[in-house]
Chains A and B, each alone.
Chain A
């Protein structure tokens, strides 16, 4: 009882303090931290100018935008473009392709990043660890154009060494670049090759923060290497994993434009068309600005919903989330 009383008093004191601080006024607060607030100004300006102001353009999704008339004078059409989009035969195909690609990356590429980070972390020889890490994150700095060109070279009919090797071993006659069945595996493999090493960085940072004393205690208790990873390492970096996962959820419809666009051809288009390439095709090459803006906006809204949803679920189960 006595202890509880003390606690209550402590809380009360805190509240009183907080209120008095608030009473001292906003002005004092700003005067006190004015330099910090000044530092904030460029950031605010940046976001207003380059992130919020362009959103004005998004209203053309609800208009029949004609460049000659301008945004303001183009006639309103309400949700017509959205209705057109949902009714079009393209919609189920795009949604399917996008979600499949996103899930593949979520189920394969994302866990792989964590696994690679764990493996790197277990490497004892620092120099080996550093070298490996550097080597696997170098591909991140290549552009998708380069990655696509490499893929084309490796898998080109007649001359592609990888194509010849695989077809030689398996005794098959697969044209990887044109066969729709191979489109998704190639996309995922490219993604893994390019981004896995880079993705490990954040997990390695999290791993560096794990309390070493826990390992020592575990070793004394006779925990094996795998048990230490399972019972100490993974739980310790779980919050990081969750945060990364929630962020990934928001990206789920962002399959990325460049990679898909570069790998698409007439023979694999049925599985390759995704929202991002569609927006480009309709907006930039066909000049249907309003329609493609509507598609882009739909994608963005789904992204926001997924982020909030995933965050809510994460908080429910784990008490951690990003906001």
Chain B
């Protein structure tokens, strides 16, 4: 079981590494999107510090939506997904491996880039720490729910707009918790409760979303 998980994840990572441009895309988008706000709003440090948590979280969420459509599309097109469905091991393992690889390739880079943006927005060190913690807890949720959306959109027309329309309402609780954790820390209220709720959200999504994703893939493949 574990070897299948590891092999599938390794395959995903290898495939992605062969096309490095796609790995660079989400963090680059994150940087560009978050840079646009100060240009549009004006370089007022107080204002920027106030809007930083929300802006960075929204930008991270949009960046995570970017490559999602391709998560299952290539494997669906060339029949690999069908083979995974027919294989003796459960489809759930494939989903887990893909979600894990997606998080490593699209979620973790966002966390890595976040400090750079935090400097641009003049965030306090503690607030930065909470931002990193909230992104570490939150980006896996983006990948888990994103996989569900990508699986549902497999047979659909409408592409990334449909994906955004489906996923935005599901992402909103995460967005609220993530940005308010940083807000609370910046205002000196402490962010423990928010981070615990985020961790709870992660546990709940990790328990339920892969099952729903498998169901959605079965619908697409039937």
The answer to whether A and B interact is no
